[in-house]
Amino acid sequence: MRRLLILGVLSSGCLLPESPRRYAVWERSTEGAQVLADCAEVDAWVSKSGKEGVGVTLELRGRSTAPCVVTIASAKLRVGADEVAAKALPEPPTLRLGQRVHAYLAFSFDGDRAWNAGLEGALILGAPQTTVTFPLRQTMPKREDCEPR
């Protein structure tokens, strides 16, 4: 009995640790930048995803040698049939060819409800001349395989 107890204690260090808990995350379902104005393009990615909403990072890039003021007049996140406005809009930067500026948009909504309902979404950016849409989907990250010690 004593041997069994000692073996049990010694072998407990060989057990695999519990893998980290996984949470659903939002991500772009397409890639690539889109033209937001004659003189600028925009790319976007989900940089924060959680139960109470998402954060999206925008990268604005200048496409003209002349100074270009890039205005984002509206930013909405469509989740299923609902639309949520960004908490704040970025200040309009002035860009030239090759210049890049990053901006952050925060959107609040019930992320758990969206996951449980299997909803997809889209980021919709409005500018004075055009509107661009980036399709979004929810995914569950894959579990990492256990590494031997």
Whether residue 2 is contained in a domain is answered as no
Please report, for the domain that includes residue 39, its CATH number: 2.60.40.4170
The residue-averaged pLDDT of 16-22 equals 64
The pLDDT value given to residue 148: 46
Residue 102's domain spans which residues? 22-136
Whether residue 7 is contained in a domain is answered as no
Whether residue 142 is contained in a domain is answered as no
The residue-averaged pLDDT of 42-53 equals 94
Whether residue 143 is contained in a domain is answered as no
- Model pLDDT for residues 67-121, shown as the tens digit of each residue: 999 999 999 999 999 999 999 999 999 999 999 999 999 999 999 999 999 999 9
**How many domains does the chain fold into?**
1
- Model pLDDT for residues 119-145, shown as the tens digit of each residue: 999 999 999 989 999 999 999 877 654
The pLDDT value given to residue 140: 86
Where are any strands of DSSP class E within the chain? 25-28, 34-37, 40-50, 53-62, 68-69, 74-79, 82-85, 94-95, 100-108, 121-126, 131-139
Q: What is the pTM of this model?
A: 0.79
